Amino acid sequence: MVMRRSTHGAMSLDEFAQNNARRRSSFHFYEEHSVRLSLVINGHPYELSCDPRTTLLDTLREALGLTGTKKGCDLGQCGACTVLVGGRRVLSCLMLTATVDEEVTTIEGLSKEGEPLHPLQQAFWDHDAFQCGYCTPGQILSAIGCIAEGHAGSAEDIRDYMSGNLCRCAAYPRIVEAIQSVVSARADDAISS
């Protein structure tokens, strides 16, 4: 079945498949244009070659198979691709892999199989702070950054400093509750220590 481009400029299925195949094949770059990189991701060292134009998001998902980091808008507007680089929040769709010089933490690196969940993962579960779950990895990593940066002192601060992470299911009140519960538990632990 051959589809033609519509009058609205929409791409046919054949054109879409060809463009997607071209994009995917461009990920396996020619040797003469690639750069060798040493990365530490979730505590594990990686040696890889990639095109210097490759985003961290594409490296994580396509080269390393770490698909917990989501591709949402690919424009730095939704926060679904948030990871931690050196403990700081980064939109991985905007960061080039070749510029990474500190450890990267993705959602897969927060807790190992068979171990307890990271406190924020558990809080999201306990507070039902997700619906479809697509934005959840980015929300959790952004929340870790938000707390580490000292921006989780109030619900208003949390809403403000988490505003770069969109939730299309509108689970925002529960996301704020989950973050507050972790901050409160840490404060209680500090007081009792």
Q: Encode pLDDT of 158-170 as tens digits.
A: 999 999 999 999 9
Q: Quick one: pLDDT band at residue 12, thresholds 50, 70, 90?
A: low
Among residues 59, 132, 29, 128, which one has the least CA distance to residue 69? 59
Of 17 and 54, the structure prediction assigns the larger pLDDT to: 54
pLDDT of 5 above 50 = no
Among residues 179, 95, 86, 81, which one has the least CA distance to residue 129? 179
Going from the C-alpha of 148 to that of each of 11, 57, 77, 79, 87, the distances in angstroms are 44, 22, 22, 17, 8
pLDDT of residue 2: 41
* pLDDT, tens digit, 9 for 90 and up, residues 57-90: 999 999 999 999 999 999 999 999 999 999 999 9
Give yes or no for a contact between 59 and 115, defined as CB atoms under 8 angstroms apart: no
pLDDT mean over 48-63: 96
pLDDT mean over 5-9: 46
Number of residues written out for the chain: 193
In the chain the domains, ranked by start, together with CATH numbers, are 28-109 (3.10.20.30), 119-192 (1.10.150.120)
